Amino acid sequence: MQKFKEIVEANERFVLTTHINPDGDGIGSEIGLYFYLKQLGKSVHILNASKMPKIYDFLENGFEIHHYSPDEHEQILKNTQILIALDIGDYSRMGSLVDLVSTMNLFTVSIDHHPKMRERFDFYLTDTAVSSTAEIIFSLFENDSQAEITREIAEALYVGIMTDTGRFSYDSTSSETHKIAAALLSCGIEPYSIFNKVYEQNRRSRIPLLKDFLSNAQFVQNQRVAYSFLTRKMLQNAGAIREDMNGFIDLLRTVEGVEITVMFTEIDRNATRVNFRSRGKYPVNILAGKFNGGGHPNAAGATIEEPMKLAIPTLLLEIEKMLKNNKENK
């Protein structure tokens, strides 16, 4: 933390980013850090490889979260001294920013709560004990008498914590998490209003897509593994976008006896996105790691460079091995 503060003090121009397909923690942490740096008088831009998810639009007030395009933002990057990637341990998850950033003489920082992957950032502020990157950003404010958490910052950090803890339900939710949430609430934010904006604005196209997802669901390995899939065609027919799938995988996880849940989504003809959930017995980040992905023991993801038809059996075989090894080790 001290070293990070020194980096901040010694520099003036910052760019913030988060991972592709950003979540509430990535966005909330960016916004928190944006204001933190602004309060210290720094120049700050936020450039994200992916478009801003609509549900988090309400957090974007009086500043802009740019959807990165090399032509438009090259100059900003050229003028930048420090690039800070939030909620990313894995450099490649900066998406389209990687091409330009990796050729530049930029000092790169990762602030994250995931285990480090293939160390490529110049500096890491990592705390795997906290629920979310937003908790780390909160502690920046806590440890700095010059910085103050305003209502808009509190709202952004609360969204980060709420979404990354599964609404304060995962094991990563600590007493410290609740203390931080309490501190944020005392800044005057309204929990139901935030909950409503994040979780109760589903698009109608989510429903036909959910229908497909549920009818494709399979239970294998003595019902211990549940999986389902969605093709591009199904998304198209439902008029759906990727955000419409949020939370689908967690429905399968709630089925009794299910230990591992997997959701496959077709990216294109030769690439399949795989998301994993575990109830705790099997660390799914190990599975994701086999395909260059990553995450937490209970929630992870990877992209398999195979058509979905092949990716499904490939992955199911890996799961079978994992279950078998676990049995033998007992």
Binding footprint of Mn ion on the chain (CB under 5 A): 25, 87, 132-133, 164
From the CB of 187, what's the least distance to Mn ion, in Å? 21
Nearer CB in complex with Mn ion: 87/152 = 87
Find all residues with CB under 8 Å of 196, minimum gap 6, and list them: none
Closer CB to Mn ion, 84 or 235, in the complex: 84
3-state secondary structure (DSSP) of residue 164: helix
Residues ≥6 apart with Cβ < 8 Å to 16: 30, 33, 34, 44, 45, 46, 47, 83, 84, 85, 86
Instruction: Tell me the C-alpha distance between 239 and 236, whole Å.
Output: 5
CB 156, min distance to Mn ion, A: 13
- For residue 330, give every residue at least 6 positions away whose Cβ sits within 8 Å of its Cβ, in sequence order, or none: none
Selection from 204, 243, 267, 295 nearest residue 57 by Cα: 243
Give least dist CB 202 to Mn ion, A: 22
Nearer to Mn ion, 47 or 136 (CB): 136
Minimum distance of Mn ion from residue 42's CB (angstroms): 23
Nearer to Mn ion among residue 19 and residue 206 (C-beta): 19
Judged by CB, which is closer to Mn ion: 25, or 266? 25
Question: Tokens representing 181?
Answer: 């949430």
Closest approach, Cβ 113 to Mn ion, in A, equals: 6
Are 270 and 296 in contact by the 8 Å Cβ rule? The answer is no
| Nearest distance from C-beta of residue 293 to Mn ion, angstroms | 15
| 3 state DSSP class of 306 | coil
Token readout for 46 is 């936020």
Give min distance, CB of 30 to Mn ion, in A.
11
Residues 6+ apart with CB under 8 A from 109: 4, 7, 82, 83, 84, 85, 121, 122, 123, 124, 125
Q: How many CB atoms lie within 10 A of CB 9?
A: 10
What is the amino acid identity at position 278?
Answer: S
**26 or 80: CB nearest Mn ion:** 26
Which of residues 300 and 315 has its CB atom nearest to Mn ion in the complex? 300
Residue closest to Mn ion when measured from CB atoms = 25
Distance CA 56, CA 163 (A): 11
- Nearest approach, Cβ of residue 254 and Mn ion (Å): 22
Q: How far is CA 247 from CA 83, 279, 289, in A?
A: 31, 15, 22
- Rank residues 132 and 261 by Cβ distance to Mn ion and give the closer one: 132
